Amino acid sequence: MSGSLNGTPGASGYLVSDLISMSLRQIGIGAMGTTASAPDLSDGVMHLNMMLAQWQRKRWLVPNLIDRAFMSTGKSVYYVGPGGDLDIPVRPDKIEAAYARLLNGAPQSVSGQFSQSDFDGDFLVSEDGLNAGVQPIDYGLEIIQSYEDYAGLGLKALRSWPNYAYYNPAFPMGEFRPWPISAPDIWEFHIVFKSPLPSSVALTDAINLPPEYWDAIMWTLAARMAPSYGQEASPTVVANAKAALTTIRASNTQVPTLGMPSILTPINNPFYWPGLEIQRL
């Protein structure tokens, strides 16, 4: 087990018990040489798990994104979550981006992350100008933002080159719906989603997060737990919690390049036809 020793973090960060004890001391519980009771620490663990579950849904509180891949099998719906087509422990609440990889003879990705093998080898170009080598080609998928827009598609069973994708955050497994439906075996779908934060942590677990999170957890947890002891969080606690969260926001914020909806640039849309405006894509 890796944790703190004499107030210093271990290789994986401070222990949960350290941060909860420090949080409680900010509101006078266990201060002045006393020790927080076992029920106090148990309540702190519950509050911490609930707080991290809330943080998981906020892009600016998650330190990184994950790219995961799965093969196209020609289906209209792929399931994302435990035991799904993309088998991951917890289904994402949303996907931040998606793209389709035309394998072009290249091997399937193992983790979905970029690897050097994606860029190795000779890039051969045939006489017709098409890639004749084994390097994969990625095509970005435009995300359909709501089920209402997906429901407006007139020909959901269209089979062609994938260009759009809708993600329905159903529980316990999300539903990834590419459109048009792609051919099996030659395409690989990649989805980008928020990296999971620690969940269901125990008192003796280490908080395996970047160092700037330790301060944010301590002060935010103190503000969160104060009402349990009949208190309002002091202005100092609130100010420090806001400052710590602002630091994380500044560190994690990534602003994508502004893009125009495809309907506003129909000439550049390869799937444009008269009446597409009604589809609201």
pLDDT digits (tens, 9 = 90+) for 111-160: 655 555 555 554 444 455 454 556 788 999 999 999 999 999 999 999 99
66 Cβ contact list (under 8 Å, min separation 6): 112, 192, 193, 194, 195
Vertex 247: Cα angle to 245 and 232 (nearest 5): 30
Compare 219 and 107 and report the one with higher pLDDT: 219
For residue 71, pLDDT over 70 is answered with yes
Residue 167: strand pairing partners: 176
> 198 or 2: whose pLDDT is higher?
198
> Which pLDDT value is given to residue 104?
77
Q: With cut-offs at 50, 70 and 90, classify the pLDDT of residue 2.
A: very low
CB-count exposure of residue 24 (10 Å: 0-12, 13-18, 19+): buried
Confidence of residue 82 (pLDDT cuts 50, 70, 90): very high
Strand partners, 66: 193
CA distance 198 to 215: 16
Prior bond of 9 cis (ω within 30°): no
In this prediction, residue 49 carries a pLDDT of 96
Q: Other CB atoms closer than 10 Å to residue 64's CB: what's the count?
A: 9
The string of pLDDT tens digits covering residues 170-187 is 999 999 999 999 999 899
User: What is the average pLDDT across 28-37?
Assistant: 78
- Tell me the residue ranges of DSSP E strands in the chain: 65-71, 78-81, 86-87, 97-102, 137-140, 142-144, 164-168, 174-179, 187-194
pTM recorded for the entire structure: 0.76
H helix intervals, 56-199: 147-151
